[in-house]
Structures are given as structure tokens and as C-alpha cells.
Amino acid sequence: MAESVKVGDMAPNFALFSETGEAVELQDYIGNKPVVLFFYPKDNSAICTKEACRFRDSFDEFKNSHDAEIIGISSDSVESHQLFSKKKQSAVYAPE
């Protein structure tokens, strides 16, 4: 079994689908700009919704102050992400 990632470790490359169905691969962002990864267990759960909305509400600050890309990750389906994003009027992943 692979070792778990610890705070401060370089994240391993991954490819996952965004709520638009687009494949997102971490290696496409590393080295280009700062990347903020946040992991949440489930769309529409109380704590996860609060966390995702905090990132949504801070998006301009991350973008303007740090030119950072924000990527939220959960194991939910693309359809679940679409409903969650529409409900909260935000994108978990919003490519430029």
C-alpha cells in the first residue's frame, strides 16, 4: 500500500473529471502557478458545503493576490458535482 500524503508533501499527479466532465490533471498546473487542493468527502453535506463555499467566496483573493488555481476534490460523480455547483452557484473547478 502506498504511503499517505502528509502536510507539506508534493501532491502526486492525478487525473479526475470536473463537474463539466473535463479531465483535470494536476501536472498541468504544477510549476505554472500555485495550486490549492482541498478535499471534501461529499457534495451537499453541511461541513463540505461550508468549506467549498469558503473557497468560492475567497476565490478572487486567491486568484488576484496569489494567481492560484483552486481545485476541490471528492469521490462524488460528475452529476453530483454539477448539481452541487448549480445549487451553490459556484464551480468546484473553473478552468480559465
pLDDT tens string 51-79: 777 877 888 888 888 888 888 888 777 78
- Structural domain including 80 reads 33-96
Residue 6 lies inside a defined structural domain of this protein: no
CATH number of the domain enclosing 46 = 3.40.30.10
* Those residues with Cβ within 8 angstroms of residue 1's Cβ, 6 or more apart along the chain or in another chain: none
Residues serving a catalytic function are 48
Give the pLDDT of residue 11: 83
- Residue 92 to residue 20: CA distance in whole angstroms: 10
Per-residue confidence (pLDDT) for residue 89, from 0 to 100: 64
Quote the number of domains for the chain. 1
Q: How far apart are CA 62 and CA 67, in angstroms?
A: 6
**In terms of Cα–Cα distance, which of 45, 44, 36 is closest to 72?**
36
